Structure 1
Amino acid sequence: MEKIAFLGLGHMGAAMARRLLGTQHPLTVWNRTPSKAEPLVTAGAVLAASPGEAARDADVVITMLADPAALDAVAEAVAPRLRPGAHWVEMSTVGPDVIEELAARLEEGVTLVDAPVMGSTDRAESGRLGVLAGGDTAGVEHVLARFGTVTRTGPLGSGAALKLVLNAAVLGGVALVAEALVLADALGLDEDTARTALANGPLGGAVGRAFAEGAHFGTSLAVKDIELAVKSARLPAMEAVLEHYRHAAEDPAVAGADITRAVTRIRHPA
């Protein structure tokens, strides 16, 4: 039986790790704040005291972390502990350059797969995420399938690259919906009428996400993701979108909240 280590138990990580409980794979978990692991430990997971301890005997290591800095800190502890034949599945949103740097840190015989996901906590809990998998996935396809539908994107780093493209589209669309409603307010239109019309138009998917309930995509994480995108190409429209999210994230109450709160802040700036 393969031993799986899951590192990073934020909103998404905890929901995803829970999908691995009840399988035949022993599950070890780690989180910087250990208390967040308690529900998983109660349900049968083993809590490790450090990332290195979690990875020491693991056949598959999964990381779901906030940003490149968090991944770098974990990699320092994990990379030396992985034995030949182990697989590292990196599922954070960090961009392809970081994946390339991570691959260079691993010993020969360790397989790295970049597999960020599309979807929020509701889809993570029900196993309906979209998994964007780059690299040699043959040894971990059965694990990735627990999280949702797997799309093989190409060579290592391609999953991380496609995630930036898709997140830029989603976050840009949500910000555009908010601006469209600013215009509707300025023109004296009824909000429900404007929202319904937008939802029935080409921005329908973005309208749904702009006012979603039961989902969580932290506004501060949106800032991080757009920053990764605008570092990769000249994107004037996304630069403007980035300023929207940065301004919203200046409010601590909004920074950790879902991007639906950022929509409110874009429409009604402080």
Structure 2
Amino acid sequence: MQKIAFLGLGRMGAPMARRLLGAGHPLTVWNRTAARAAPLAAEGAAVAATPAGAVRDADVVITMLSGPEALAAVADAAVPALRPGTHWIDMSTVGPVAVRDLAARLGTGATLVDAPVMGSTDRAATGGLRILAGGEADGVAGVLGRLGEVSRTGPPGTGAALKLVLNAAAVGGVALVAESLRLADALGLDDTVARRALADGPLGGAVARAFAEGVHFRTGLAVKDLALATGTARLPALEAVLEQYRTAGVPDADISAAADRIRTGSIA
């Protein structure tokens, strides 16, 4: 069993790390807020005080971090301590530029796979994520398979790129559903009738996500992802969506809360 260092134990990272620990992988974890590592330590994971300490003996390093800046900071600390031949899997949503920067930091001493995920906390806990893997993933196929279904996307950076495309569509769709229901309210339509009609149409998945319960994708992360997307190409519609999420005023709440504010017009 490959020794794994898992860096980043947020809402997604913690259940993913727990899956790997439960499968029998020797696991060392690190998190900027050390208290978040305590539950995994109680289940048998080793806890490192620094990123360098976490990766020193690892065969595989997995990063699940909040954004490009966090990834760069962790890489600066961890890369000097890597063993030659280590596999580094970045599962964060950071965009292809950050992946290229990480590849430059790693050089030829490690194999990089960019493997962001589709799915929320519920799927992270059950191993039901969709994993978008760019680069040479054969050496870590078994590890990735414990976390979900792997879709190969092409050369390094393509997993990160496709994740931006899919997130932009999903998050944008939720905002469009919210505004469509705002229009339905203004026209005096029954809420149940309007929601059912939208759910039966092409935006059905976005309708379900706009009212989902028991999952959590922070509005602040949606803002980060949309900013990465709109910084790559001119996307006027998504720029407007980005502004809606920014002004919703609920950065730590699920995007369904932002959708509710967009619908009611009660944005900051």
- Taking structure 2 as the reference length, what is the TM-score of the superposition? 0.97
Question: Structure 2: how far apart are the matches of 1:135 and 1:92?
Answer: 15
- Alignment pair present for 1:84 and 2:66: no
- Deviation string for 1:185-212 (max 9, x for gaps)? 1111111111111111111010001111
What's the CA shift string for 1:161-190, capped at 9, x where partnerless?
000000000011000000001101111111
Aligned to 1:97, the other structure's residue is in SS state helix
CA distance in 1, matches of 2:24, 2:240: 48
1: CA distance, partners of 2:245 / 2:22: 39
Helix, strand or coil at the partner of 1:152: strand
Q: Find the residue that maps to 1:80 and give its secondary structure.
A: helix
| Alpha carbons 1:84, 1:107 under 8 Å: kept | no
1:47 Cα deviation from its structure 2 partner: 0.7
CA distance in 1, matches of 2:214, 2:178: 19
Two-structure CA RMSD over aligned residues (Å): 0.9
**Which residue number in structure 2 is paired with residue 218 of structure 1?**
218
Q: Offset at 1:25?
A: 1.6
Gaps of 5+ in 2: none
Which residue of structure 1 aligns with residue 155 of structure 2? Answer: 155
| CA drift at 1:99 | 0.4
Structure 2 Cα separation of the partners of residues 47 and 109 of structure 1: 25
Moved more, 185-194 or 218-227: 185-194
- Is 1:255 the counterpart of 2:248? The answer is no
For 2:23, what is the secondary structure of its paired residue?
coil
Within 5 Å, which residues of 2 pair with 1:8-87?
Answer: 8-87=8-87
Does 2:95 correspond to 1:95? yes
Q: Once the two structures are superposed, what CA deviation does each residue of 1:203-241 show, in whole Å capped at 9, x if it has no partner?
A: 101000111111111000000000000111111110111
Q: What residue number does 1:131 align with?
A: 131
Tell me by how many angstroms 1:68 deviates: 0.6
Residue identity opposite 2:172 in structure 1: G
Distance 1:174 1:261 in 2: 11
Contact 1:198 1:204 in 2 (8 A): yes
CA distance in 1, matches of 2:152, 2:63: 18
Distance 1:161 1:91 in 2: 12
- Distance apart, 1:22 and its partner CA: 2.3
Alignment: residue pair count = 266
CA distance in 1, matches of 2:256, 2:232: 26
Deviation digits for residues 41-92 of structure 1 (CA, Å, limit 9, x no counterpart):
1111111101110011111000000011111110111111111110000000
Q: Which amino acid aligns with 1:267?
A: R
SS in structure 1 opposite 2:12? helix
Measure how far apart 1:267 and its partner are: 1.4
Amino acid paired to 2:253:
A
**Where in structure 1 are there 5+ consecutive unaligned residues?**
none
Percent of matched pairs sharing the same residue: 68
Contact 1:131–1:151 (CA under 8 A) maintained in structure 2 = yes
Q: 1:146 — aligned with what?
A: 146
Q: Distance in 2 between matches of 1:201 and 1:107?
A: 48
Q: Secondary structure in 2 aligned to 1:100?
A: helix
TM-score where L is the length of structure 1: 0.97
Q: CA shift at 1:37, angstroms?
A: 1.1
Say which is worse superposed, 15-24 or 4-13, in terms of deviation.
15-24
Aligned partner of 1:265 in structure 2 is: 261
Distance (whole Å) between structure 2 residues aligned to residue 110 and residue 71 of structure 1 = 16
Aligned AA (2:70): A
